[in-house]
Structure 1
Amino acid sequence: MFELLDGDALRSAGEASVVSAIAEAARAEAAAGARRLAAIAELVRRRADGPVDRAYWSCDNWDAIAAEVAAAQSISHPMASGQMYLAVALRDRLPKVAALFAAGTISLRLASAMLWHTDLIKDPDTLRLVDEALARDATRFGPLSVSKTAQAIEAIVDRHDPGALRRSRAAARARHVTISPADSDAGTAALWGSLYATDAAALDSRLAQMAQQVCEDDPRTLDQRRADALGALAAGSEHLACGCGNAGCGAGVDPRAAAVVVHVVADASALDARPDPHTSGERKSRPITPEMTLAEALAPDPEPHLTGGGTLPASMVAELIRDGAKVQPLQHPADAPAEPGYRPSAQLERFIRCRDMTCRFPGCDRPAEFADIDHTIAYPLGPTHASNLKCLCRKHHLLKTFWPGWRDEQRPDGTIVWTSPIGRKYITRPGSRLLFPTLCLPTGELPSAPSTQPVSAQRGVMMPQRRRTRQQDRARRIDAERALNAGRIAERNQPPPF
């Protein structure tokens, strides 16, 4: 049915056939996802027996496999690692559930939920019984909500192994604060999380107090002042600057100004932009007059927009710098000669980070701010030069340095050509290529040099070490989770009172 309803046939089909195509496509999507995970599990199986001494390496054999899985799908390292665990667990722990997933009977979400809620089961016979029960009842779980699905799975686990219930994770242990990546078009980011009630009350009280410190002429709403107060706290300030703009206002200096450095990576005219008055206060519609055309009357209110001045709208850059934030120009090195020594100068390092924006390993989006500066051709064979430097997060820096197989070649425009241990090639380009293309102008050809250097047999002693192997850590976490359930199980097993 799904193959038949394609293109014109889909548009001319009845609604019942269209809905059937949706259901068939969902099954095909689940089956395709199962095949992908099966391939990942097979790759893990083939490479699981890595060098024993590297099990204690910070970047261990699992990380080496995850790097290839991530590069093949252009996804992040943590996401690839999660897929590997899911793939191996489906194959080894819940084979009957895996068979349903491969047939497209259940979704990836449901298969993942089953694995999560059975992760603490240690006894193989118990796990087999749970796998059979889950496979038998799986078709009933699909239409349920996420919470009801979890309750149904937990009921099966509780019947066979109550010590493996995930409910022991109290809400306090799930506290977190998450900040989403900034929206480059709006210059804002989402924040959510869960705190101790006492901490939440203290934060709420502090934000309310800071929001009331400004004068009556401040144009911002209470919610906007509370949001800005949180930014002021993050910058180490005890008060919120007033936004009234009055010369005589004593609270008019923004304490965040000293904590912000703006790197000019494109048109410097963005520094001359004016703050956007529409970012504060209540949203107001423009009055419609008889002289307006229909297009003018229906046009949206002006919003901040991305200009050539950076990843923030120029009006928001103006908000940051109007109170004296430090502005430091960024210069393209052009054909500058190589620098002496291993560490690049501060100016060259700023250029590399602004050009690359993220880690340059395939699929990795770790911000350049938190990445290492890596010599593509290792120093001293390779010079400290923009055409030989790039950003790599610590994980991928260790992978390239200590694990054999990965090779990288850098071009003068910042393009990196990676070759995986099996010979697949991946090309990554600087993150500034679309936003600030002038940063990707060639920085000069380097004299030919060997792309590799002999690896010492003792080089591994420089790799940071783990206190416990990945398997030992996992076993400790499982035992700790099960121990949290011991008291509840003992209480439940007490005989009724006389």
Structure 2
Amino acid sequence: MFDRFVSGAASPGERVRAYARVENAACAARLSAMADLLEQTYAASGSAEREQWRCDNWSSVCAQIGAAQTLTSGMVNALLTNAVILRERLPKVSAVFAEGLITYLLVRTICQRTALVQDSAALQAIDAELAEQLWNWGAKSLSQTDADIDTLVLRHDPYAVRRVEDVVRTTGVTVHTDGATGVAHVDATVNATDGAAFDRRADLLARTVCDHDPRTLDQRRAAALGAMGFGWDRLPCMCEEPDCDAAARPPVGGVVIHVIGREAVLGDAGNGATADLAPDTDPASEPPTHPEPDAQGDPEAETDPEFETGGEGEVESGLVTDPPPTPRTGDLTAQRRALAGEPPPLLSKPLREYTLAHLIAELNSDPGEFSPASPGIVVGGPVLPATVVAQLAMHATIKKLIHPGQAPPEPRYRPSQTLADFVRGRDLSCRHPGCTRLIDDLDHTIPYPWGPTCASNLAGYCRQHHLLKTFWPGWSNVQYPDGTIVFTDPGGQTSTSYPGSRLLFPELSEPTAPVPVSGTPPPKHTAGLTMPKRRISRKEARRQRIDAERKRNAPWAEQYLRGSIPAF
């Protein structure tokens, strides 16, 4: 299909240019196929009725594309949005893209910067002029690209210019998590009074610990942010003194964060870390008898930070005849305590007293240590180093994740708390291929009562993909005892989803009892169920957002138009 781009490309430089065009053209063809799939869905019988479903036609197509490419819902939504814009609003720009002359990054920018244009004549003019310029666009910075596109939009529709100032001035909070270190960066833009209140509150919470707390004031102020999130009225002390009145966990505050780690970390947790650890029962001989959660909602009744363990030991495989030198393994307690307090000095004496050779030798004298424990993971979030998990466990509720083994199914629709905890710990996030959302619902793969309530027949889903599985025709899946699920979309394409815990905690993915099926379930068991509805359709909501942004632009656009009138 793209042979014409690479024919005659002999030298490496020519092949680089040729295959860059092939990559761009292939991306254009992929977006075009997405737009075709959406048109096919809209043309299907009953599609108009599904436009106001909570999981509507657009969501169904996004799920199908996400499963085919293992992409998250947010990425697919952006790709499909741009595919529709190219098809319906910018056909000439789309033709240039199909020739491989521009990248998807530039196409995405064009779609964003022209999104507010509503007049069809203005849009056609912008499309034609942009397409002509794109043949010789050249290399430009991101800011210059935005400015050139905005200049073109400004000539044809001043009300449609995307004004970055409005976005920058809006308030908001963004959390960026670093999965390698277990640290999150919080960026917030708030009102001045809110900022002053936050600053004062952080300082007050930071001073609720005893004088022996090893953390610096800045470290305690940072921990105070988490205390605010949990709804605590004070900060738990980390002095580890047995008679410290401030060391106990504060009263619960309504927020639960689940972390899965190994028991080796819990043994280091210090005061009370293992006091609430559930007894290690034999699941095959003693079925769980915990209260039943709501399988359609959040089964967690606790309202305090929770810590779950994934089991004991490490999984070993293979034999090594000549093992490499064993790296130095540090003490987990010492490593955990090293997270608090002032950092140690980099050098033992002033820099001026070193020769270059001595300086290099001292900087390389400490190669560091491996942690003696495996890392943990935030359910639905990042991986955490073992030292960070050990620190968190000091003031957490400890619960044990119990693998069901070959235990028989539970005789009810809603799983017990123990079984629900295991399934959530095994899956970690929504099981639809490509989805990384938190689990909202636990679902029977084979509908109950045809399929039993057991680990091999339960999986976690976000609300949207749970609705998709329940109501949308053409979707089917098969679940295996190790938690692997094979999905088949309405087009007959298959995608495989594996439990999220299988890399860090493979023991949670060990096979459970096979599923005994009672009879043949109907194709879609939706009797008595109703798909939740949207207040307005997705298309109408988008139109309202565009109208609102154009209205906010009106004063600036009118001032620009008045200023462009000659004074004579």
| TM-score, normalisation: structure 1 | 0.85
Instruction: Provide closer, same or farther for how the CA distance between residues 92 and 295 of structure 1 changes in structure 2, counting only shifts above 3 A.
Output: same
Q: Deviation digits for residues 375-429 of structure 1, max 9, x if unmatched?
A: 0011111111111111111111101110000111111111111111121111111
Aligned letter for 1:315?
A: T
Which position in structure 1 is the counterpart of 2:374? 307
Matched residues in 1 for 2:386 and 2:251: separation?
Answer: 17
Show the counterpart of 2:466: 397
Looking at structure 1, the residues matched to 305 and 362 of structure 2 have their Cα atoms a distance apart, in angstroms, of 40
> 1:277 matched to which residue of 2?
337
| Partner in structure 2 of residue 239 of structure 1 | 234
Is 1:360 the counterpart of 2:431? The answer is yes
- In 2, are the aligned partners of 1:286 and 1:301 still within 8 Å (CA)? no
- 8 Å contact from structure 1 (residues 304, 315) kept in 2: yes
Q: Residue in 2 aligned with 1:220?
A: 215
What is the CA deviation profile of residues 88-138 of structure 1, one whole-angstrom value per residue up to 9, with x for unaligned ones? 111221122222222232221211111111111112111010112222333
The residue aligned with 1:159 is 155
Match of 1:318 among 371, 378, 390: 390
Q: Deviation of residue 249 (structure 1)?
A: 5.7
Determine helix, strand or coil for the equivalent of 1:126.
helix
Which of these residues, 44, 67, 70, is aligned with residue 71 of structure 1?
Answer: 67
Partner of 1:343: 414
Q: Which residue of 2 aligns with 1:14?
A: none
Task: Say whether the 8 Å CA contact 1:408–1:418 is kept in structure 2.
Answer: yes
**Residue 315 of structure 1: how far off its partner (Å):** 2.6
Inter-partner Cα distance in structure 1 for 2:386 and 2:394: 12
Deviation at 1:252, TM superposition (A): 4.1
Look up the equivalent residue of 1:279 and give its one-letter code: L
Residue 89 in structure 1 maps to residue 85 in structure 2: yes
Asked if residue 475 in structure 1 is aligned to residue 475 in structure 2, the reply is: no
Deviates more, 1:273-282 or 1:448-457: 448-457
Cα distance in 1, alignment partners of residues 556 and 24 from structure 2: 37
CA offset digits 1:178-226 (Å, max 9, x no partner): 324551x433333334333443343234334444555665433444232
Give the match for residue 291 of structure 1. none
| Alignment partner, residue 30 of structure 1 | 24
Q: For residues 345-391 of structure 1, what are the alpha-carbon distances to aligned partners after superposition, in whole Å with 9 as ceiling and x for unaligned?
A: 111100000011111111111133xx210000111111111111111
2:431 and 2:535 map into 1 onto residues whose CA distance is 29
Instruction: From the superposition, tell whether residues 204 and 245 of structure 1 become closer, same or farther in structure 2 (CA, over 3 Å).
Output: same
SS for the counterpart of 2:173 is: strand
Q: Distance in 2 between matches of 1:319 and 1:456?
A: 46
1:426 aligns with 2:495: yes
Supply the distance in 2 between the matched residues of 1:284 and 1:2 (Cα, whole angstroms).
58
Which letter does structure 2 place at the counterpart of 1:301?
G
Tell me the distance in 2 between the aligned counterparts of 1:54 and 1:48: 9
The answer to whether the 8 Å contact 1:110/1:142 transfers is no
In 1: Cα distance, 2:207 partner to 2:187 partner = 23
Per residue, is there more helix in 1 or in 2? 1
Residue 445 (structure 1) aligned with residue 514 (structure 2): yes
Matching of residue 46 in structure 1 with residue 107 in structure 2:
no
Q: Following the alignment from structure 1 to structure 2, what is the Cα–Cα distance between the partners of residues 451 and 191?
A: 51
Deviation per CA, 1:435-488, whole angstroms, max 9, x where unpaired? 1111112211222445641547976x6000011111111121222222222333
For the residues of structure 2 that align with 1:475 and 1:126, how far apart are their CA atoms? 17
Secondary structure at the residue paired with 2:187? strand
Q: Which runs of 5+ in 2 are unaligned?
A: 254-303, 315-330, 350-360, 378-382
Change (3 A) 1:450 1:255: same
Aligned-partner residue type, residue 91 of structure 1: R
Q: Is the aligned partner of 1:263 residue 2:334?
A: no
Larger mean Cα displacement after TM superposition, 116-125 or 243-252 = 243-252
- Structure 1 residues 427, 140: closer, same or farther in 2, change over 3 A? same
Letter in 1 for 2:68: A
Matched, 1:170 2:166: yes
Amino acid at match of 2:339: T
- In the alignment, the residues of structure 2 paired with residue 395 and residue 331 of structure 1 have an alpha-carbon distance, to the nearest angstrom, of 28
Match of 1:13 in 2: none
Alignment counterpart, residue 99 of structure 2, candidates 75, 98, 103: 103
Deviations 1:19-49 (A, max 9, x none): x765555444322222211221222222222
Q: Alpha carbons of 1:4 and 1:137: their partners in 2 closer, same or farther (altered >3 Å)?
A: closer
Q: CA deviation at 1:55?
A: 1.0
Residues 251 and 53 from structure 1, CA distance in 2 versus in 1: closer, same or farther, beyond 3 angstroms?
same
Equivalence for 1:463: 531
1:377 aligns with 2:372: no
Native 8 Å contact 1:257 1:326 kept in 2: no
Distance 2:145 2:85 in 1: 19
The answer on whether the counterparts of 1:358 and 1:391 sit within 8 Å (CA) in structure 2 is yes
Q: Alpha-carbon deviation of 1:295?
A: 11
Cα RMSD between the aligned structures?
A: 3.6
Match of 1:137, as an amino acid?
Q
**Whole-Å Cα distance in 2 between the matches of residues 3 and 277 of structure 1?**
63
